[in-house]
Amino acid sequence: MMLGGRFLSNNIVMLSDFEKIMNNLYYIMMVGLLGFCPLQALAEEGVRTKSDVKRLVSKKKGKLFFEYNKALKVSPNLSGSVVAVIEINPLGKVISCETSESTIASEALRIAVCSTLGDIDFGIVKNKNHFIYKHISNFAALK
C-alpha cells in the first residue's frame, strides 16, 4: 500500500520526501518486529530482477482488467494500451508511475493502472539502486 502520493499533470505519481521516509520507516519497523518484510520477494543475489517484478505484476492482471471493465461501462468502445513506467525503491515500494506513452483515451484507467501497480510490495533487496520497470497493459473491447 502506498502512503499518499499525488498525480501530477503529466501522469506521474510522486511521493513527497516525508511520504518516502514514512514508507521506509514502516518497512524498517516491520523487519525489526517480525524479522522479515511481509510479502517479501527477495532475490537470492540481493538485486531486483525484471523477472521478479514481472511475476509480481502478473499477479495483479485480474485487478487491471477489473479496472478496464469498469472503464468500459463509461466508454463501451474503449481500447488501447497503458504503458506504465514505475520506479521501485530498494524497500520494494513504487515511488513513481508515469503513463505518458499510453494510447488509451481514459485518464481514469491510466490512474487506476498506476494505483494498482503502486500497491504492489516488491520486497526489500540489498542493492541500494532504484529499479525502473516498464509495464504494458493491452486492452481491447470485445465486439
CA-based max dimension of the chain: 53
113: which residues sit within 8 A by CB, 6+ positions away?
64, 67, 82, 84, 97, 99, 137
Tell me the domain boundaries of the chain.
12-139
Residue with cell 539502486: 129
> Averaged over 68-86, what is the pLDDT?
94
pLDDT of residue 99: 92
Per residue in 95-117, pLDDT tens? 999 998 899 999 999 999 999 99
Per residue in 38-58, pLDDT tens? 444 444 457 889 999 999 999
Burial (CB < 10 A; 0-12, 13-18, 19+), residue 26, is middle
Is the predicted pLDDT of residue 14 greater than 70, yes or no?
no
